[in-house]
Structure 1
C-alpha cells in the first residue's frame, strides 16, 4: 500500500495508497498502533479501507527518526493479517506556543517626564501621570508664549521593556486634543539626535472627543517577535504642520509579558 510519512511542525502525516475498490479491499479495517516516545503511551487508531492518511499530533523533533508505526489489516471476522511497520519516522520541531500573557503597570511619575513645551498658566506636566482619568486634570503645551515647532514629552519608563502597552485619556474638554501623535525611541532623556520628521516608530490619528481613551501595544500582536528593548520614549503631538499646541489628560504605561511554552523542551519560557 506504499506507506510513507511526511514530517510536519509538531506532527507526522502518514500516507498510503488506498485500495482501488475499498468495498473489496480484502480487509474490514486497518489498525494503526504506535508508542509515543514522549509519554511512553501506546496509541491505537482503526482506519477505514477508504482512508488515505492520518495526522499524528504532538510529535517532537528532539526524538529524531525514532517514531515507528505498525499497520495491521483485519478481516470481517476480526482476524489480523500481515503487519507492516513504517519505522525511522521523524517530526519537525513543534512550534512554541503562547501559554499566557500579563501586564504590569510601569511606575512612571512626574520625575520620569520632561517637556520642551510647558504652558505656564495651566496644565502642569505632573498631571499627565497623576492617575486622574476622565476628569479635568491635564497637561498643556505652550499657547501663551512662543510655541515650539514641535511640542513633545520625553518619558523614562524606569526600565527596558521589549513589549509595551500605552494608554492615554483625553481631558474632559471640547477640543484642543492632538490631531496626530507620534512615538519615538530615545537613547536618553532630552535626546537631541532624533529627527522628528523621520524617526517615529508609530504614528496615528489621535482619537478625538472629551475623555476619549486610546490604547496601543508594541509589537501590535502577542504572536509577533518582541521588539528591541526600549526605556526612553518621546510623545509628540501634532508632529506635522500646522504644529500648534495641545493638551492631554493622562498617560499610562504597561510592560507586556508573554509566557511561552516550548514543546521541544516541555518547559515554560518568558519572552
Structure 2
C-alpha cells in the first residue's frame, strides 16, 4: 500500500514539474513588439489573387508575418512573409468567394506571436477561357458581305473575292495609294466565337501579297472605320507567304467574346507596295467550348 502511494505521489510530482516547465516555456516565448500597422495594409485585387502591401517598420523584431485565412475550397490556409518583405500574394482565389477575412500576426524566431488583426479583401474575377472544338460549317459569303477602306477605282472590286472565278481578283488602291494599314471587313451574318479563313493571292509577278495581318472581331460595323474602336484584337499573323498565287490558311482563331464582323487589317505587303491583291477569300466557323470558372459549380 505504501509502495503504491509512493508511485502515485511521484507521478503527480512529475506531472506538476512538466506542467510548470511547459508553462514557463510558453511564457518565455518572445512576442514581437514592433509590428506592421494595420492601417498601413492595403490590398490590390487581380484575377484570381489578392496582393497585400504594407509599410515595413524601420526595425522590425518579428521573424515573419503570418497570414491566416479560410479558403472556401481548401479550408484553413497559412501564408508567411519574411521580415524583409513588404507585400504578399494570395493566389488560387475567385471573385465569387466574396470578401475573405485575413488574419495578420507577427511571429518571432522562438514562435511568439502577436495578437492577430483582420483585413478583409476580395480577389479579382478569373476570366473565362475558350477552347477550340474543331471546324464547323463554311460561312457562305456574297459581295455584299465584304467591305474595304482601300478599293482601287479602276479594277478589282472586292466582290470578286467570293465570285468563284479564279481569274478575277480584288485590288487595293494603286492609282491613289495611301500608307498601311488597310482593312477588309467580313460580315459573318451571325455571332461566332471562332473562325478560320483562307485566301489566295493574285497570280501576278508583282507579288502584292499580305505580309502581316492583324485580326479583329466586333459586333458593330457601319461601313466605316468608326467601329474599330469597339473591336477586339484576336491575333497577329506574320511571315505570310510571298510567292505569286500563294494560298494561305489561318490557324483557328477563337475568342471568349463572340463577334459578327471579322476585320482583317493588312499591316504590310510582301512587295513593299502600299496595296495587296487577292483572288479568293473564304471563312469557316470554328466550334468552341467556353469555361467560366467564376460561374462553375
* Other-structure match for 1:20: 58
Partners of 2:242 and 2:82 in 1: how far apart?
62
Q: Give the conservation status (yes or no) of the 8 Å contact 1:72–1:80.
A: no
1:8 matched to which residue of 2?
45
Q: Which structure's residues are more often helix, by fraction?
A: 2
Say if 2:121 is the partner of 1:90: yes
Look up the match of 1:166. Answer: 197
Distance 1:213 1:30, change over 3 A: same
Structure 1 residues 126 and 213: alpha-carbon distance in aligned structure 2, compared to 1, 3 A threshold = closer
Q: Give the gaps of 5 or more residues in structure 2.
A: 1-35, 145-154, 156-161, 170-185, 211-221, 229-239, 263-276
* Matches of 2:291 and 2:281, distance apart in 1: 32
Change (3 A) 1:62 1:179: closer
Q: Deviations over 1:21-78 (max 9, x none)?
A: 24xx1x32232222212x133222222111111121233333333x12223333222x
2:109 aligns to what? Answer: 76
Tell me, yes or no, if the aligned pair for 1:98 and 1:258 is still in contact at 8 Å: no
Matched, 1:140 2:168: yes
Q: What's 2:246 paired with?
A: 212
Matched positions, count:
192
> Counterparts in 2 of 1:227-266, with a 5 A limit?
227=259, 229=260, 248=279, 250-257=280-287, 259-266=289-296
CA contact (8 A) 1:139 1:247 kept: no
The alignment's TM-score, normalised by the length of structure 2, stands at 0.48
Contact in 2 for aligned 1:31/1:73 (Cα 8 Å): yes
> Per-residue deviation at 1:208?
6.2
Distance in 1 (CA, whole Å) between partners of 2:127 and 2:52 is 23
Query: Contact 1:98–1:260 at 8 Å: present in 2 too?
Result: yes
Q: Where does the alignment leave 5 or more consecutive residues of structure 1 unmatched?
A: 118-123, 128-137, 142-154, 181-193, 232-245
Q: What is the SS of the residue equivalent to 1:58?
A: coil
- TM-score with structure 1 setting the length: 0.52
The RMSD of aligned alpha carbons is 4.5
**CA spacing shift, 1:29–1:107, aligned 2, 3 Å:** closer
Bigger Rg, which one: 2
